[in-house]
Structures are given as structure tokens and as C-alpha cells.
Amino acid sequence: MTNNVYLASKPRYEILDGLRGVASVIVVLFHLLETYSAGPAYQVINHGYLAVDFFFVLSGFVIGYAYDDRWNRMSVWGFFKRRLVRLHPMVVMGTVLGACFYFFAQGDGFPLIGHVPGWKVLLAFVLGCLMIPCGPRMDIRGWGEMNSFNGPNWSLTWEYVGNILYALLFRRLPRVLLMLLVGLAAFCTLDLCLNLNVFGLLTEGRDAQMYTVIGGWSLTAEQVYVGLTRLFYPFLCGLLLSRIGKFIKVCGGFWWCSLLLAVLLSVPCVAARAMC
């Protein structure tokens, strides 16, 4: 009976909605401008890719704030249904739009388009709509992405992973264990950014992206490690912040936070050009 109880929405933090919008604009500009840059080190919005990690922080916080105290009135499946209703329509829409333009994207930038069998194209489309990641063998345009029809969908794939792990595990953890996981995720982030390669998962090609967390869009051992690292540290930090629950009010907080976010994501590369 509790599974059918209506769960009224809690008051929203409108500032978070606004900051999500600011970060979305920045990441779109990042991808548009990278087309005209001489390389990652010369990007106008050099760290715009970190908007994805910022989204994970927001997601962890919002999930914890919205659902931590509702599990006595909500089942795991009820939680999944609510998240699917909120997220999945855009997954399908993005994949359908990508499919509509797929055959117009042939060229040097997409080496496989036009050279794959029809059944493979159809299967990749179905898997994309169902949010089932495709491995390298299912790549149909040559970029090695999880969803060839909607490349940016990889970050939402990790968002789904975070939601699933929250419902099955993270929601049950006391604050101390959550802090330990945050510490472990921070270590993995350092391992990734400094190319320590403690777990032997990073390839030699990773040297070109030293001091970054770029990656996570393919189903290879290295890319999965990068994706999980990019998910866990910010997502768990956001979840921990929601449970600490100590907030402050700042006059004009949205504008100050937006400015700070824009500045941080636009910081130029300060290391050697070859290392950025």
C-alpha cells in the first residue's frame, strides 16, 4: 500500500536549477568552440568539460535532499519509476533526433557511417533508446561512444548508474561510511589526474590528457574507470552535502555562484601546453 502513496514534491532550491542552466550553456559553448581551437590547451573555455562533473554534484545533492527521508513510503521500483519519468523521455528524444540526422553526417569526421550493415544501425538505435551502453564493436560512426546516435548521452548513462547505486546501496550508508567513500573517490581522482595509474587501468595514450578527468564515454576498461571516477567523487560529495544540511544565505547568491562557476570553467591551461 505504501508503494502507491503520492509523494509530494519538496520545495525546490531554485538556485540549483539556475546554476544547472548556466553550466549547460557553458558546456554547449565548450563543444562549439573546440571545433575551432588548435587543441585542448587552446580552448577558449578551457575547463568547460568539468560542467559534467558539476552536474553530478548537483545530482547527488538533489537526490539526497529529495529522497533520503522517503524510503518508508517508497519502494526501490517506485524510485526508479520516478527517475525514469523525469529523465528518460529526453534520452529517447535525443536518440531519435540523432537517428534522423545520422545519414547526413558522413565524412572524414565519422569514418564508419555508410559502411555498417542495417541490422547494426537498427540495434544501436534500439539500445540507445533503452539506455543500454554499446561497446566498441557496436560503434557505427567511429567515435567509440556508448550511444552512436547521441554522443553526449554517456554522461546521463553514468547518471543512471549513480541513481541505481543510490537506491540499492548509498541511501543505506551512514555518514561516516559515505565520507570514507568520498575519500576513496578523491584518491581515484588523483590517480586519474596525476597519471599515477595505481590500478594499472590507464593506457599510455592517457599521458596526453594528464591533469584532466576527460573521458568516460566508451566501454573500455580505461574509459569505464574514468567514468566511474568522474561520477563517484562529485555525486557522493553532493549526497554528503545534502546530509550535512548546513546551508548559508548569501545576498545575490545565484549571481555570485554563476560568476564563480563561469570563471572556474573558463580558467586557461596553466601547465605546459603539451600536458593540458
Q: What is the pLDDT of residue 3?
A: 47
Cell (9 digits) for 235: 555525486
**What digits encode the pLDDT tens for the residues 150-174?**
888 999 999 999 999 999 999 999 9
Instruction: Give the confidence band of 231 by pLDDT, cuts at 50, 70, 90.
Output: very high
Task: Please answer whether residues 52 and 155 qualify as being in contact, where contact means their C-beta atoms are separated by less than 8 angstroms.
Answer: yes
How much is the average pLDDT of 125-141?
90
**What digits encode the pLDDT tens for the residues 107-123?**
566 667 777 888 988 99
How much is the average pLDDT of 263-273?
75
More confident position, 114 or 273: 114
Model confidence, pTM: 0.89
Q: Tell me the C-alpha distance between 159 and 231, whole Å.
A: 7
At residue 110, φ and ψ (nearest 5 deg) are -130, 80
Task: Please answer whether residues 50 and 266 qualify as being in contact, where contact means their C-beta atoms are separated by less than 8 angstroms.
Answer: no
Q: What is the DSSP-derived secondary structure letter of residue 247?
A: -
Instruction: Give the confidence band of 41 by pLDDT, cuts at 50, 70, 90.
Output: low
More confident position, 17 or 35: 17
Q: For the residues of 196-229, what is the DSSP string, one character each?
A: --TTS---GGGGGGTT------SSSHHHHHHHHH
Q: Tell me the C-alpha distance between 29 and 37, whole Å.
A: 12
Per-residue pLDDT at 2 exceeds 50? no
**Which residues face 110 on adjacent strands?**
107
